[in-house]
Structure 1
């Protein structure tokens, strides 16, 4: 079976002070409707699936620890949202809006879909995970 081509992408924040570089073989856009993402972005947070360990940020990026398992990155100068990261594995999921045309990849997944405001409706066929399904995937297990 032939190996998938690796796409290298670059993007930047609103002011251009922070640049981001990442790789993906087959990417998707994910939307998150949790309360923290909505407060952080004033909407939903949309991220790209990338190759683990391939994402790098250069410039005045800051991080805010928003929960026991997550952090959120932003540009210190313009405030642009840069990433959502899981602290247990150090993986950062870059904001789709940092890349031209969101890297040209499709929306395939919504997290906390049952928390989406009444006025939000994303088009297309894709998986919509409930709050419980999302927590089961990301929240650290006790014990």
Structure 2
């Protein structure tokens, strides 16, 4: 498989999403002005992950808690962080 199997959908003015053209699996989310791709962890093999950051923490359900301490960013902080990179 290669790039010819990936469809890209412009989901907003600042972001796009990639999908498999054959099965529709969500492959990535990307801010258009950056080279950073967010991919679903389920696409990768292995379990040796260093979980260090949570985003949109202000929208997290109260019952949703991780065991380790992480850097926590609110929605406002996430958008401010990326706005400063343009």
SS in 1 for 2:67: coil
SS in 1 for 2:76: helix
The one of the two structures with greater contact order (alpha-carbon pairs below 8 A, sep at least 6) is 1
Runs of 4 or more above 4 Å deviation: none
Task: Call closer, same or farther: CA 1:127–1:90 in 2, change over 3 Å.
Answer: closer
RMSD: 2.5
Q: Which runs of 5+ in 2 are unaligned?
A: none
Equivalent residue, structure 1, for 2:41: 96
Task: Call closer, same or farther: CA 1:81–1:119 in 2, change over 3 Å.
Answer: farther
- TM-score normalised by length of structure 2: 0.76
Tell me how far apart the structure 2 counterparts of residues 118 and 81 of structure 1 sit (CA, whole Å). Answer: 27
Equivalent residue, structure 1, for 2:73: 129
Equivalent residue, structure 1, for 2:53: 109
Q: Could you give the per-residue CA deviations for residues 24-74 of structure 1, whole angstroms, max 9, x where no partner exists?
A: xxxxxxxxxxxxxxxxxxxxxxxxxxxxxxxxx545211121222111112
Paired residues of 1:83 and 1:94 also in contact (CA < 8 A): yes
Q: Which runs of 5+ in 1 are unaligned?
A: 1-17, 19-56
SS in 2 for 1:85: strand
Structure with the higher fraction of residues in strand conformation: 1
Task: Call closer, same or farther: CA 1:78–1:140 in 2, change over 3 Å.
Answer: farther
The alignment of Structure 1 onto Structure 2 pairs a total of residues equal to 86
Quote how far apart the aligned CAs of 1:81 are. 1.8
